[in-house]
Structure 1
Amino acid sequence: MNSISRLFDLTGRTALITGSSAGIGYALARGLALAGATVILNGRNEARLARAADTLRSVGATVHTSNFDVTDADSVSTAIAHLEDHVGALDILVNNAGMQRRAPLENFSVAHWDELMRTNLDSVFLVGKAVARHMIPRGRGKIVNICSVQSELGRPHIAAYTASKGAVKMLTKGMAIDWGPHGLQVNGLGPGYFKTELTEALVNNPEFSNWLIGRTPSRRWGDVEDLIGAAVFLASDASNFVNGHILYVDGGVTATL
């Protein structure tokens, strides 16, 4: 293996990816596994987690699963301590768990606001803090928080989501500032519009899809595989002097009006 390849090699490292039984989280877990990492899948549905793990194992990946609630502080602390003791030191954390709720802001319920903020923002704080407390004494660690083009841009009827992802962007910078002196790198990965189960209705809506493709300099939707290279970069030694940065993988959406 040449020196450049070694920069991106994750062999011997362990990565926890939250919300990774499907969609973007699963794609990122698969990418890290293909780069050599042992991956830990997390999600709420144990059956889906088991299926995702079996699929990854079928291509030679080393996979564990951890079914804990990323929005519950006690569950997070217990799960991270268990993983550290029984799977091994966590070298990489990808905070991917998230959700979307759409409604005009004046009609957006307090219950949905609280649910969305707990899932999209509180989970990043809770899991990030729990993992960082183990990384800090070791003097190393990679944390990748999944942001969004909505960390920068707004759209009708998703003000709450935009607020949550804007907060994740700034929390990422705060984590980098506090934990950088301890040897950690904390960065954000900001997907644009990607074809997933959650966006299927938009993909199949000709009016929206045509608008989006025309709005995107790369003139297409993103495929989840497009995120893997950026994720491996941010999780590997190749990014050892990258800290507090948000890497947008969006086909150029954030670059143009």
Structure 2
Amino acid sequence: MSEKVLNHQIAVVTGATRGIGKSIALALAEAGADLALVQRSDNQETKEQVEKLGVKCEIILCDLNESEEVKKVIPQVVEKMGTVDILVNNAGLQKRHPAVEFPEADWDEVLNVQLKAVWLLCQGAGKVMTEKKKGKIINIASLLSFQGGLYVPAYASAKGAVGQLTKALANEWSSLGVNVNAIVPGYVATDMNTALIEDPVRSRQILERIPAGRWGDPDDFKGPVMFLASEASNYVHGHLLPVDGGWLGR
């Protein structure tokens, strides 16, 4: 992307070390945004690629399963980079078990990372954005914001709630200049879906239902995130944007 439409805006992205999050971070950097990458580890790979694009990048270490750490993220970003203009809540994890056997510890971890951390980061960023009357929050939802899935009750519950949280925050903050929207990925070839991809029956069943005829690629999310992060979406509020190869329309 040649146009620096996000020139020196400060974008916070969680889970950018791989997959969709990495593609999103690179898209924002290509558009001129400076990045704060929220990570569990000090993995430098995405940071190095971002900096090669001529923008600034900071790593904020945080375990999203630990609420007290999450609460410190936005203040750290403001201290290091001055403000927050864009927040992308992308980080996630998956735990698969039959519902009757689903461990409570796994339930808590999924809900903490996929929902509570999203809420706390939205709340922290919202305080900054509503004060200056400008900002973009982009949550990464899921097809399971609409559907129930199989063997993933915690993930489905969290992602359903992310969709409703997106709408609730949009209702409060739209008039204050803050856009809160969500992207809804379909089936994407990432590490989280390795079990499905390697299951010949499920992989075939999924592929047969996708009108586009292929699994998604992380780079398929560069365009949608740029739309929601830029002024092109200034009148878009509380929207859940499917990027699913046509799955929901089938």
TM-score normalized by the length of structure 2: 0.94
Matching of residue 66 in structure 1 with residue 63 in structure 2:
no
Matching residue of 1:42: 38
**Conservation of the 8 A alpha-carbon contact between 1:176 and 1:243:** yes
Q: How many Å separate the matches in 2 of 1:86 and 1:65?
A: 10
Counterpart pick for 1:148 among 142, 148, 168 = 142
Assess if the C-alpha contact under 8 Å between 1:69 and 1:75 holds in 2.
Answer: yes
Letter of the structure 2 residue corresponding to residue 18 of structure 1: T
Match of 1:24 in 2: 20
State the distance in 2 between where 1:211 and 1:221 align.
Answer: 12
SS at match of 1:39: strand
1:73-152 superposed matches below 5 A? 73-152=67-146
The 1:218/1:29 distance shift into structure 2, 3 A limit, reads same
Cα deviation code 1:202-248 (max 9, x no counterpart) = 22332222211111111100001001100010011000000000000
1:69 CA drift (Å): 2.8
Note the C-alpha offset of 1:165.
0.4
Distance 1:130 1:168, change over 3 A: same
Q: Return the alpha-carbon distance in structure 2 between the equivalents of residues 75 and 44 of structure 1.
A: 11
Q: Structure 1 unaligned segments of length 5 or more: list them.
A: none
1:162 aligns with 2:152: no
What TM-score comes out, normalization by structure 1 length? 0.92
The 1-side partners of 2:126 and 2:191 are apart by 31
What letter is aligned with 1:227? F
Determine helix, strand or coil for the equivalent of 1:89: coil
Q: Distance in 1 between matches of 2:150 and 2:138?
A: 27
- Structure 1 residues 37-46 or 78-87, which shifts more? 78-87
Shift of 1:148: 0.5
Distance 2:239 2:222 in 1: 17
Cα distance in 2 between the residues matched to 1:7 and 1:33: 11
Structure 1 residue 75, shift from structure 2 partner: 2.2
- Counterparts in 2 of 1:213-228, with a 5 A limit? 213-228=207-222
For residues 244 and 6 of structure 1, the distance between their equivalents in structure 2, rounded to whole angstroms, comes to: 29
Percent sequence identity over aligned pairs = 37
Output the CA distance in 2 between the equivalents of 1:17 and 1:45. 14
**Closer, same or farther: CA 111–71 of 1 in aligned 2, 3 Å:** closer
Distance 1:104 1:133 in 2: 39
The residue type equivalent to 2:10 in the other structure is T
How many residue pairs get aligned? The number is: 250
Counterpart residue identity of residue 35, structure 2:
V
| Deviation of the 1:6 alpha carbon | 11
Distance in 2, matches of 1:54 and 1:171, equals: 33
Distance in 2, matches of 1:8 and 1:59, equals 11
| Alignment equivalent of 1:183, drawn from 173, 177, 181 | 177
Note if contact 1:18-1:94 (Cα within 8 Å) is conserved in structure 2.
yes
Taking the aligned partners of 1:74 and 1:120, their CA distance within structure 2 comes to 15
Which of 5, 11, 14 in structure 2 is aligned with 1:9? 5
